[in-house]
Amino acid sequence: MTTHAFTEYLKYKRKAMGRHGTHSPFVYDLVDNALLKQIPYNNDNSLLQPVLQQKFSAHYKDILCKIALHYSCKNITCITELSGTPTTTDLLWINTDNEKNWQKIFNAYLPLLTNNSILIISNTHTTTAHTTAWQQLCTNTSVRMSIDMYGIGMLLFRKEFKVKQAFILKTN
C-alpha cells in the first residue's frame, strides 16, 4: 500500500458512514437490503460472470455481486480498456489500474447509460492520480450521486436525485 493509499484509507475510516448516517433513503436501502445481507449467489450465474472472473479483491467482488443482484442488473459489463463499440449496460465496471482510461471509457459509455445505470470504478484511491480522476468523474454533470467505498466508487445517474449527492460509505 502506497503512502497516498494509506492516508486516503485513514480519511475514509474517519469519514465513512453506515446506513444511519446517510440521510438518503436510496443509500439506506442499498446498505440495508444489499450490502449487509448475506445474498446467496451461484458462482455459475451467467449474469455475474463478468464480475466473478475478474482478478480483484473478493470483498469488492462480493459487493459488486450484491449490487448487481439487488438492482436486478441484467447486463453487466466489465471493461479494462476501451476497445470496440460500447454497448448499453445496466452495470458498467471499469476495472483498470490506469486512471487515464477512466475518462475515455466514461465518455464513450455515457450516452448509453440510462437513468438506472450503475457505474463502478475500481482502485479509486491507489495513487494521487487515481483519487484526482475519481473526483473528476464525480463532478460530471450527469452524475447525480457518488458513493465512495474506498476500494471502489459507485456513480449513479438517476434524475429523481434532484440535488447532486456524495457519500462515503462503510462496506464492512
CATH number of domain containing 10? 3.40.50
**Alpha helices, DSSP H, located in the chain:** 3-15, 25-30, 49-52, 58-70, 99-109, 128-138
Q: What is the pTM of this model?
A: 0.91
CA distances, 165 to each of 3, 51, 69, 106, 149 (Å):
28, 26, 23, 19, 14
Structural domain harbouring 14: 3-168
The mean predicted confidence, pLDDT, of the chain is 89
- Confidence bin at 127 (pLDDT 50/70/90): very high
pLDDT of residue 42: 63
The number of folded domains in the chain is: 1
CA distances, 19 to each of 32, 55, 92, 120, 171 (Å):
7, 29, 24, 20, 10
**Range in 28-42, 56-70, 107-121, 143-157 the model is least confident about:** 28-42
- Confidence bin at 17 (pLDDT 50/70/90): confident
pLDDT of residue 43: 59
- Confidence bin at 168 (pLDDT 50/70/90): very high
